[in-house]
Structure 1
Amino acid sequence: MILEVAVLNVKAGHTDAFEDHFREASRIIAGMKGYVSHELQRCLEIDNQYILLVRWETLEDHTEGFRGSESYQEWKKLLHRYYDPFPVVHHYELA
């Protein structure tokens, strides 16, 4: 299993709209091949920062399957306008 980790810095004043759109986008990602689970957590110290954790069966389920899909275009349309700067995504596996 692969853990995708992204720190999301949302533009100031847009957190409520981001959270609303994220709930909608959650249905998109949850339907993807290889998707296991995800969670979005809001930072306690930095008001507009979140961490997104997504579990995938394989790295390719995320990097090729999801990112190469039409569903990803919908995800982007809903969420990418909120980020500043654009998040860096890393992938982890159990050691």
Structure 2
Amino acid sequence: MVTELAAIQIKPGSDAAFLAAVQQAVPLFQRAHGCSAMRLEKSVEDADSYLLIVDWATLDDHNITFRESSDFQTWRALVGGFFAEAPTVRHIAPALTGF
């Protein structure tokens, strides 16, 4: 499993509309090949900062299959206008489980 972490900074004052757009996009992730979970976390310190967390079976499921799909284009059309800057995307995989 690979987890996508996308740090998203939105334009000030667009919180409610951004959240509505992400909610509208949930089915895009639900039907994406290899996607098993998706959630959006909000920063406690910075009201315009979010972290999109998406679990993928493989890196290719995200970087190739999803990003080359029409659903990715729909995702970007829904939320891209709210971005204050391009999101920073990283992929992580389990290294150690403490408990």
Q: Which residue of 2 aligns with 1:82?
A: 82
What amino acid is the match of 1:68? E
Structure 1 CA distance for aligned equivalents of residues 68 and 90 of structure 2: 17
| Runs of 5+ consecutive residues of structure 2 not aligned to the other structure | none
RMSD value, Cα: 0.6
Q: Which residue of 1 aligns with 2:93?
A: 93
| Count of residue pairs brought into register by the alignment | 95
The sequence identity of aligned pairs, in percent, is: 31
User: If the length of structure 1 is used for normalisation, what is the TM-score?
Assistant: 0.97
Q: Which residue of 2 aligns with 1:22?
A: 22
Q: Which residue of 1 aligns with 2:48?
A: 48
1:38 aligns with 2:49: no
What amino acid is the match of 1:51? L
| Runs of 5+ consecutive residues of structure 1 not aligned to the other structure | none
Structure 2 CA distance for aligned equivalents of residues 68 and 38 of structure 1: 18
- Deviation string for 1:2-50 (max 9, x for gaps)? 0000111010010100000000011111110000101101111101111
User: If the length of structure 2 is used for normalisation, what is the TM-score?
Assistant: 0.93
Q: Which residue of 2 aligns with 1:58?
A: 58
